[in-house]
A and B are shown apart, each in its own frame.
Chain A
């Protein structure tokens, strides 16, 4: 079918009309850039209603960098796990600096400090992830299977080493897993996987790469 020769402006056909919401969301998820999503927000009402769904993650992901660069944004309400800790504010600042720096450097995968249950501390090391190991294994296995489809080498998940999650409307998991290279039979390799369960229980993988 040939494109219409005359794209007259009098009859615009919205290109996105035939894309289901789930697909538009997936595209927005891929944009991964707060500025571009901000622009999408003011394009039309449909975009505006869908962007927060995808944008929340992007916006939140950029917060550690923002906090680290602008200490004036830090406030007791969001940063202290308990209002009674006010006198330890300086100690908490030190912990938060280290915490945000680790999140940025390791993209959320390796954190060895955690300020505690506060609004700004939304990357949480999941120490007792064994409680949900079945669900996490399912996500990791799915991520690796998807990775295998476009990879020359085929991998298989052996075990999950560490898990962090980002606390949001859902939890997005940052998993470091050991995998076996089924093609080369070499020693176990390490992969980093970022994934979550979607609205309808579907598995959404936003990152899956060998750790370098």
Chain B
């Protein structure tokens, strides 16, 4: 972690997609490789992030704060927080994952990818399509061939209960 020599905490402003501003300590954003480079190399104090919705940014900042407070004694609490963090509707989870990927917050990215992967696992093809609203773009011939080749992929209960 970069220690400020002046003893004074540096302040940084992040601007979300809807122009909402978030003012936070610079040390918090150093977990993001992208922001870290911007802060270190360009010495900026305000960073526009037009592709990230404010709602998503709020969530990510919440994570950064919690993560910064991580100590041996509250490890369990942090784990629970992480679990709750990804326990959101799919749309929101993907918003966060895309933003975290862009910001390059590696630990959190791994966790988000796992959360998305968990929503794909143990589902039938139809369920995955329904959950992620993917339309099959195979030809009817291909589709029927897959059904013949791997009938088990199309079987099983249509578990699409995940948000």
On A, residues with C-beta under 8 Å from B are 1, 3, 7, 12-16, 18-20, 22-23, 26-33, 36, 38-45, 47, 146, 149-150, 152
Contacts and interface: CB of A to CB of B under 8 A. Distances in A.
Interface in B76-98: 89-92, 94, 97-98
Contacts of B134: 12, 14-16, 43-44, 47
Contacts of B89: 3
B135 A44 contact: yes
Given A1-B53, A30-B114, A19 B97 contact: yes
B117 interface: yes
A153 B137 CA distance: 48
The 5 nearest A-B residue pairs measured at CB: A30-B117, A15-B132, A42-B146, A12-B133, A152-B72
Contact of B133 (A14, A19, A28): A14
B43 interface: no
A171 B96 CA distance: 31
Nearest to A9: B133
Contacts of B91: 3, 15
Contacts of B138: 42, 44-45
A39 B136 contact: no
B107 interface: yes
Q: What's the dominant secondary structure at chain B's contact region?
A: helix
B125 A146 contact: no
Contact of B107 (A32, A42, A43, A146): A146
A13 B134 CA distance: 7
B11 interface: no
Which residue among B72, B89, B120, B135 has the maximum number of chain A CB atoms within 10 Å of its CB?
A: B120
A31 B131 CA distance: 16
7 contacts: A7-B133, A27-B113, A28-B117, A36-B121, A36-B122, A36-B123, A38-B153
A19 B149 CA distance: 29
Contacts of A15: 90-91, 94, 131-134
Given A20-B101, A23-B113, 20 more contacts: A3-B91, A3-B92, A15-B133, A19-B94, A22-B101, A23-B97, A23-B98, A23-B101, A26-B113, A27-B117, A29-B113, A30-B110, A30-B116, A32-B117, A41-B153, A43-B128, A43-B136, A44-B129, A44-B136, A152-B72
A14 B94 CA distance: 12
B109 to A, nearest CB: 8
A18 B98 contact: yes
B75 interface: yes
Contacts of A41: 153
A206 B110 CA distance: 10
A30 B71 CA distance: 27
A44 B137 contact: yes
A149 B120 contact: no
B69 to A, nearest CB: 12
Nearest to B112: A27
A152 to B, nearest CB: 5
B101 A12 contact: no
A41 B94 CA distance: 21
A92 to B, nearest CB: 33
Given A19-B97, A27-B113, A31-B117, A39 B133 contact: no
B128 A149 contact: no
A1 B117 contact: no
Contacts of B114: 30
B120 A36 contact: yes
